[in-house]
Amino acid sequence: MTALGQGTWRIGEGLRTRKEEADALRLGFDLGMTLVDTAEMYADGGAEEVVGDALAGRREEIFVVTKVLPQNATRRGTVEAAERSLRRLRTTWLDLYLLHWPGSHPLEGTLEAFERLRADGKIRHYGLSNFDPEEMQAADRLPGGKGVAANQVLYNLCRRGVERRLLPWCADRRIALMAYSPFDQGRLPQREALRKVASLHGATPSQVALAWTLRLDGVVAIPKAADPRHVRENAAVGGMVLTPEDLAELERAYPLPKRDVPLEML
């Protein structure tokens, strides 16, 4: 998995034309952001269709992640949802298939479906999303639980709770932590320290926020950008390294919570 990918929430909703949205994703692919994250939930499958457009002719180069809704995540429902996603994405396999958040159907059934999809070559890897440390531990004890390859969670400069227990737990097991909403959906407070570090690098505050998210091994970030200027900015972060002084400055402005906090979700 490449560490810097692209998200697709709010894509396929008609905010821009389908062609503009697919072109933005393709621009990101061209600039090295070759992982794309989508979900059956986004625009009721519309985002997967746009990703399908963007993948045309270059499927092999791209790592495709999509998610099953918890209400569909029974043993049978998961397989059927994956097949619908494959059709919308116009591909024969998913690189990573996630359960979008913990739901009421027993996780055993979802994991069994994931294993079956993998045995059938329809998915290469599977994982979870919005699972807190206790939920990850419970999943780990189930049949198929050791196959979990990733947990996708909210993680950015102002939402650092996952660093306390979830991130080390995942890192110990080589489970990728996929950081969603690295800009907190555009609401990340731009404190003085962030602006200062950005100016030292000739970068924007968003670029520094994204580079900060990527500073740790095992973390994958999936910023969403439909505006081509944003896509270019985000791709350029791939080559940006924050110094220990930058990190210390950001630490003071956006400190790690002093005690455990419940996993946040957007």
- Active-site residue 42, yes or no? yes
User: Minimum Å distance from CB 53 to ligand NAP?
Assistant: 16
Structure tokens at 240: 């940006």
The strand order across the sheet containing 148-154 reads: 35-37, 63-68, 94-99, 123-129, 148-154, 176-180, 219-221
Identity of the residue, 8 or 72, whose beta carbon is nearer to ligand NAP in the bound complex? 8
* Shortest Å, Cβ 231 to ligand NAP: 7
CA neighbor of 99 nearest in space, from 164, 117, 2, 166: 117
Tell me the closest approach of the beta carbon of residue 119 to ligand NAP, in angstroms: 25
Residue 55 Cβ, how far from ligand NAP at the closest point, in Å? 15
* In the complex, residue closest to ligand NAP by CB: 7
Buried-exposed string 15-25: b where 16+ CB fall within 10 A, e elsewhere: ebeeeebbbbb
Strand residues in 146-265 grouped as ranges (E):
148-154, 176-180, 219-221
Cβ closest to ligand NAP, residue 183 vs residue 212: 183
User: At its nearest, how many Å lie between ligand NAP and the CB of residue 145?
Assistant: 19
Q: Which residues bind ligand NAP (CB under 6 A)?
A: 7-9, 37, 100, 129-130, 152, 180-186, 204, 206, 222-227, 230, 233-234, 266
- Active-site residue, selected from the candidate residues 42, 97, 155, 254: 42
Residue 260: which of 160, 184, 177, 181 has the closest Cα? 160
Question: Mind giving me the DSSP string for 32-44?
Answer: T--EEE--SSGGG
Short-list 231, 239, 252, CA closest to 202: 239
End-to-end CA, the chain: 24
What one-character DSSP code corresponds to residue 100? -
Toward ligand NAP, which CB reaches closer, 97 or 180? 180
Please give the positions annotated as active site: 42
